[in-house]
Amino acid sequence: MRPTKTYHVRAQLSADYEVVRTDNILDLASEELVNQGRQPGNHAQRRFIVLDQAVDAIYGKSIRAYFDHHRVECRFLVLPGGEHRKVMDSVVAVATALDSFGIDRRREPVISIGGGVLLDLVGVATALYRRGVPHLRVPTTLIGLVDASIGVKTGINHGDHKNRLGTFQPPTAVLLDRRFLASLPERHLRNGVAEMIKLAIVRDERLFELLEEDGDRLVEERFQGRSPAGERVASEVLHRSVEGMLAELEPNLWERHLDRLVDFGHSVGPTIEMLAGGDLLHGESVAIDMAMFTTVAARRGLLHDKDARRILELLHRFALPVDHALLDDDVVRRAMADTVRHRDGRQRLPVPVGIGRAVVLNDVTQDELRSALRHNRAEGVR
C-alpha cells in the first residue's frame, strides 16, 4: 500500500472598512466621495458608477456635476429597481458593462448609489468579476442606510427564494448620507424603520423608546432634523441603529455562528415577501414576522403582555403590516422548513423576552405558530 501525505491549508478571512456617517456628499466642496479610492500621484481618476433608476431621475444631474467638478472620468450604468430585478441577469449586465469600461482591478472601486436591492446585486457582481473588485456603497434608502449597506453580505434572488445566491463581499467603504432620505416616499421610510424596530426589540430599549416618543416627527421630517428636537432624535436614532447593527454583525461577520439576534423578523418573512410578488417591501415582511414571533413569546410567558402590546402598537404607529392574506398554515410550514435548512438543521428563532432583550428558541411548534396567527387575527391585528 502506497503511503499517503496530507497537506493542511489554513487561512483566515479579514475585513477592514469604514462606515462613515456624513451629510451632503454631493456638495461640490465635499471630497468625501471622490477621495474614496483616490490614488497618489498623477494617475487619472476613473470611476464606474451604478445608479438606481429612481435615484438617477432625482440626483443624476447632481452626481454627474459632482464628478465633473472633481475631474473624474465616469461611466454610468443605470438599472431599474425593484425586488424582481434582483436576479442574475442584472449581475451579468453589470459584469458586461465593467468589461466595456475596462476597469482597473484594484485602483478603481465600483460605486453603487441606490437602495438595498441595487447594493446587493452590485455586491454580487463585484465579488464575481475577476474574483473580486473593490466597491463603495452609498445607500439612498433608510433600510439601506441602517441595514443592507453596512455588513458584508450580498445576495440576489433565485427561483422563488430571496437571496438564495450570494457572497460575502466587504466594501471598501460605506458612506451614509441621510440627505437622500428627503426625497424618499413615506412608505419606504416606514419600511426602513421596521429594521430599526427589529434592532430595538432585540437589543436596545432606548432606541425603542425614541421610536415610540418621536416616531411621527422622524417620518414627518424624513430624518432631516428640520427642528432642533427633530435633529437631536434623528441623530441619536440613526447612530444607535447603525452602531447597534455593527455591534451585532462584527463579531460574527462571516456567520460562523447561526444563533443571530438580527435574524428576528427573518424566519417566515422572506417567504411571505417573495410570495407577495412585490406587494410587500422587505421591512413590511419583517414586521409581519416580528408580530408573529412576538405573540409566540407572549403566549409562552416569555414576554409580558404589556411589552407585546407595545411592540404591536409601535408597528401600527409606523403603518407597518403585521398580517397578510398569504400567511396560512401551509406557507408558515414551508417557510419554517426552509429556515431550518438555512440555519443548519435548527430553528434558531430569536424572540423577545422584554424590550431590548431576546433569546433564541429551537422548539417552536406548528401549533404555536398557528395559534399566534389566529390570536393576532382575532384581536384585530391588522
Query: Can you give the CATH number for the domain in which 222 is found?
Result: 1.20.1090.10
Place of cell 434623528: 234
Residues 255 and 271 grouped into a single domain: yes
Q: What is the mean pLDDT of residues 173-183?
A: 97
Residues 247 and 283 grouped into a single domain: yes
Q: What is the mean pLDDT of residues 102-111?
A: 91
Q: Which residues contact 87 (CB under 8 A, 6 or more apart)?
A: 121, 156, 157, 158
φ/ψ of 12, rounded to 5, equals -120, 140
CB hemisphere CA count around 212 (13 angstroms): 15
Report pTM.
Answer: 0.94
Q: Which residues contact 30 (CB under 8 A, 6 or more apart)?
A: 22, 24
Which residue of the set 5, 153, 198, 306 is catalytic?
153
Q: Which residues contact 280 (CB under 8 A, 6 or more apart)?
A: 272, 273, 288, 321, 324
Question: Does residue 12 belong to any structural domain of this protein?
Answer: no
User: Which CATH number covers residue 108?
Assistant: 3.40.50.1970
Residues 166 and 218 grouped into a single domain: no
Residues 115 and 136 grouped into a single domain: yes
Domain end marker among 183, 211, 245: 183
Other Cβ atoms within 10 Å of 116 Cβ, number: 28
Q: What is the mean pLDDT of residues 64-69?
A: 98
pLDDT in tens, 135-159: 999 999 999 999 999 999 999 999 9
Per-residue pLDDT, 42: 52
Q: What is the mean pLDDT of residues 172-199?
A: 97
Residues 162 and 178 grouped into a single domain: yes
Q: How does residue 129 score in pLDDT terms, banded at 50, 70 and 90?
A: very high
Question: Does residue 2 belong to any structural domain of this protein?
Answer: no
For residue 107, which amino acid is it?
Answer: R
Per-residue pLDDT, 382: 46
On whether the CB atoms of residues 34 and 70 are closer than 8 A, the answer is: yes
DSSP 3-state of 110:
strand
Q: Which three cell numbers stand for residue 229?
A: 428636537
Percent of the chain whose pLDDT exceeds 90? 91
Q: Which three cell numbers stand for residue 136?
A: 463603495
Residues 306 and 334 grouped into a single domain: yes
Note if 198 is an active site residue: no
Q: Sign of the C-alpha dihedral, residues 331, 333, 337, 342?
A: positive
Place of cell 458586461: 96
Question: Does residue 262 belong to any structural domain of this protein?
Answer: yes
On whether the CB atoms of residues 327 and 288 are closer than 8 A, the answer is: yes
Residues 200 and 132 grouped into a single domain: no
Question: Does residue 220 belong to any structural domain of this protein?
Answer: yes
Give the bridge partners for 8, in sequence order.
Answer: none
Q: Which residues contact 108 (CB under 8 A, 6 or more apart)?
A: 37, 46, 47, 48, 133, 134
Q: What is the mean pLDDT of residues 10-18?
A: 92
Q: Does position 381 have pLDDT exceeding 60, yes or no? A: no
Helices 205-220 and 228-249, axial angle in degrees (round to 10): 130
Q: Does position 380 have pLDDT exceeding 80, yes or no? A: no
Residues 190 and 122 grouped into a single domain: no
The DSSP-derived string for 190-246 is HHHHHHHHHHHHHH-HHHHHHHHHHHHHHHHTTTS--SHHHHHHHHHHHHHHHHHHH
- Using CA atoms, how far residue 13 sits from 60, 62, 252, in Å, is 36, 37, 12
Place of cell 450570494: 166
Q: Which three cell numbers stand for residue 364?
A: 417552536
Measured CA to CA, the distance from residue 145 to residue 110 in angstroms comes to: 18
Residues 211 and 152 grouped into a single domain: no
The number of distinct structural domains making up the chain is: 2
Q: How does residue 106 score in pLDDT terms, banded at 50, 70 and 90?
A: confident
Q: Residue 286: which H helix or E strand, with range?
A: helix 282-300
Q: Does position 292 have pLDDT exceeding 60, yes or no? A: yes
Q: How does residue 132 score in pLDDT terms, banded at 50, 70 and 90?
A: very high
Percent of the chain whose pLDDT exceeds 70? 97
Question: Does residue 70 belong to any structural domain of this protein?
Answer: yes
Residues 145 and 221 grouped into a single domain: no
Domain end marker among 137, 157, 183: 183
Residues 192 and 170 grouped into a single domain: no
pLDDT in tens, 219-271: 999 999 999 999 999 999 999 999 999 999 999 999 999 999 999 999 999 99
Compute the radius of gyration of the chain from its Cα atoms.
22
Q: How does residue 38 score in pLDDT terms, banded at 50, 70 and 90?
A: confident
Residues 211 and 332 grouped into a single domain: yes
Supply the range of the domain harboring residue 220: 186-378
Report the chain's mean pLDDT, rounded to a whole number.
95
Domain end marker among 167, 183, 199: 183
